[in-house]
């Protein structure tokens, strides 16, 4: 049997930062979304634009070139980590950056295999699917650390009188403490240069019936439910099916523009990069 895609839509839009550090791709062999994170000192060591953008674009190219292989996603990603680590070291030319300066990325990938999809997740990107029942696969480890920062933001006196940068500077020590928990036991697992992270990714297989609706998304898209509460998480894929992913995206941007100082809903960026892919998956039907 062969799985085929029909009626897919993709968005990968920049937030308020100068460069889009997300990446997204879809092919007849699979699909993925990456949500890059720059170093906390805002040092760009290997790129004139953004190290996080360099990092996600490297992976975007690598997945386009390798997603069709028969190897498991874990094997493909392990090879990729070894290659990007070597290239990064070459570009550093002897520099030894601190852990908080390294670029990283959340990622969700699916690969089509006969009558199944294989999935691989690191960080807080999400996989939604509807095969008659709506289901979500997501690692929520980062969320608990983010919530600590959000709670600290909300407790700042005279919050409404502060600028966004002032709010963020007040909680930077907690943000740094959380970032140092990256790829550690008891912390959270995310894509960077760690082979151990690949071995601790969420990885598995899902049987596909006649039809399945699928959506992959970054946290700049799922914040509609996770952070802002303007939509319900278990309804996102249904809304994407009926109204389209642009409808959800526009709801997010309307909310953020209404709270442009990030006082009502403190967050890490006024507007984050936002990415999602939605499609219908069939057995022996449809085209891409």
pLDDT one-digit tens code per residue, 81-99: 999 999 999 999 888 888 8
pLDDT for the residue numbered 21? 97
Which DSSP helix (H) or strand (E) runs through 3? strand 3-13
pLDDT for the residue numbered 19? 95
Report if residue 55 sits inside a domain: yes
Report if residue 62 sits inside a domain: yes
pLDDT for the residue numbered 96? 85
pLDDT for the residue numbered 288? 46
Please report, in angstroms and rounded to a whole number, the separation of the first and last CA atoms in the chain: 16
Please state, as a whole number, how many other Cβ atoms lie within 10 Å of the Cβ of residue 194. Answer: 19
Residue 107 near residue 125 (C-beta atoms within 8 A): yes
Domain containing residue 18: 3-139+189-283
Categorize the per-residue pLDDT at 261 as very low, low, confident or very high, splitting at 50, 70 and 90: confident
Categorize the per-residue pLDDT at 6 as very low, low, confident or very high, splitting at 50, 70 and 90: confident
Quickly tell me which residue has 């389209």 as its tokens. 244
Q: Give the Cα separation of 134 and 41 in Å (integer).
A: 40
Burial class (CB in 10 A: 0-12, 13-18, 19+), 22: buried
pLDDT for the residue numbered 95? 82
Cβ within 8 Å of residue 29, ≥6 positions away: 67, 68, 111, 112
Q: What size, in residues, is the chain?
A: 288
Per-residue tokens: 32: 């993925």
Distances from the Cα of 258 to the Cα of 18, 78, 150, 180, 255, angstroms: 21, 42, 19, 33, 5
Report if residue 39 sits inside a domain: yes
pLDDT one-digit tens code per residue, 186-195: 999 999 999 9
In this prediction, what percent of the chain has a pLDDT beyond 70? 98
Cα 121–176–86 angle (5° rounding)?
A: 55
Reply yes or no on whether the pLDDT at 46 is more than 90: yes
Q: How many CA atoms lie within 13 A of 113 on its CB side?
A: 17
pLDDT for the residue numbered 111? 98
Tell me the sheet residues that pair with 151: none
For residue 125, give the CATH number of its domain. Answer: 3.60.40.10
Per-residue tokens: 286: 């449809």
Question: Among 109-118, 241-250, 257-266, where is mean pLDDT lowest?
Answer: 257-266
Considering just the CA atoms, what is the radius of gyration of the chain in Å?
19
Residue 213 near residue 241 (C-beta atoms within 8 A): yes
Lateral strand order in the sheet of 104-113: 22-27, 30-37, 104-113, 116-122, 202-207
Report if residue 21 sits inside a domain: yes
Residue 170 near residue 93 (C-beta atoms within 8 A): no
Q: Span 44-56, mean pLDDT?
A: 94
Q: Give the Cα separation of 156 and 50 in Å (integer).
A: 31
Report if residue 14 sits inside a domain: yes
Cβ within 8 Å of residue 241, ≥6 positions away: 130, 213, 278
Report if residue 160 sits inside a domain: no
Report if residue 178 sits inside a domain: no
Reply yes or no on whether the pLDDT at 134 is more than 70: yes
Reply yes or no on whether the pLDDT at 45 is more than 60: yes
DSSP states of 163-179? -HHHHHHHTHHHHHHHH
In this prediction, what percent of the chain has a pLDDT beyond 90? 84
The residue with greater pLDDT, 210 or 127, is: 127
Report if residue 157 sits inside a domain: no
Burial class (CB in 10 A: 0-12, 13-18, 19+), 287: exposed
pLDDT one-digit tens code per residue, 219-253: 999 999 999 999 999 999 999 999 999 999 999 99
The structural domain count of the chain equals 1
Residue 271 near residue 254 (C-beta atoms within 8 A): no
Categorize the per-residue pLDDT at 42 as very low, low, confident or very high, splitting at 50, 70 and 90: confident
Categorize the per-residue pLDDT at 39 as very low, low, confident or very high, splitting at 50, 70 and 90: confident
Distances from the Cα of 172 to the Cα of 40, 169, 176, 280, angstroms: 9, 5, 6, 42
Reply yes or no on whether the pLDDT at 201 is more than 90: yes
What's the whole-number average pLDDT of the chain? 94
């Amino acid at each position: 049997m062969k799985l085929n895609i029909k009626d897919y839509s993709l968005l990968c839009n920049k937030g308020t930062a100068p460069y889009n550090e997300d990446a997204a791709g879809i092919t007849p062999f699979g699909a993925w979304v990456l949500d890059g994170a720059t170093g906390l000192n805002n040092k760009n060591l290997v790129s004139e634009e953004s190290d996080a953008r360099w990092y996600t674009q490297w992976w975007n190219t690598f997945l386009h070139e390798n997603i069709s292989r028969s190897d498991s996603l874990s094997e493909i990603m392990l090879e990729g980590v070894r290659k990007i680590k070597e290239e990064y070291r070459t570009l550093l030319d002897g520099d030894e950056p601190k852990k908080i300066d390294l670029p990283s990325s959340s990622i969700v990938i699916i690969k089509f295999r006969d009558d199944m999809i294989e999935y691989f997740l690191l960080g807080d990107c999400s996989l939604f699917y509807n095969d008659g029942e709506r289901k979500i696969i997501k690692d929520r480890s980062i969320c608990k650390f983010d919530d600590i920062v959000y709670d600290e933001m909300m407790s700042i006196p005279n919050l409404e009188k502060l600028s966004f940068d002032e709010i963020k500077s007040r909680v930077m020590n907690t943000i740094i403490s959380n970032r140092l928990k990256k790829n550690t036991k008891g912390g959270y697992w995310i894509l960077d240069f760690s082979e151990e992270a690949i071995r601790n990714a969420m990885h598995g297989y899902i049987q596909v019936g006649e039809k399945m609706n699928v959506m992959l998304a970054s946290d700049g898209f799922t914040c509609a439910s996770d952070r802002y509460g303007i939509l319900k998480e278990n309804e996102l894929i249904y809304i994407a099916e009926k109204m389209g992913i642009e409808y959800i995206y526009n709801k997010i941007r309307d909310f953020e523009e209404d709270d442009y100082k990030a006082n009502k809903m403190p967050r890490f960026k006024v507007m984050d990069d936002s990415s999602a892919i939605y499609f219908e998956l069939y057995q022996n039907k449809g085209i891409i």
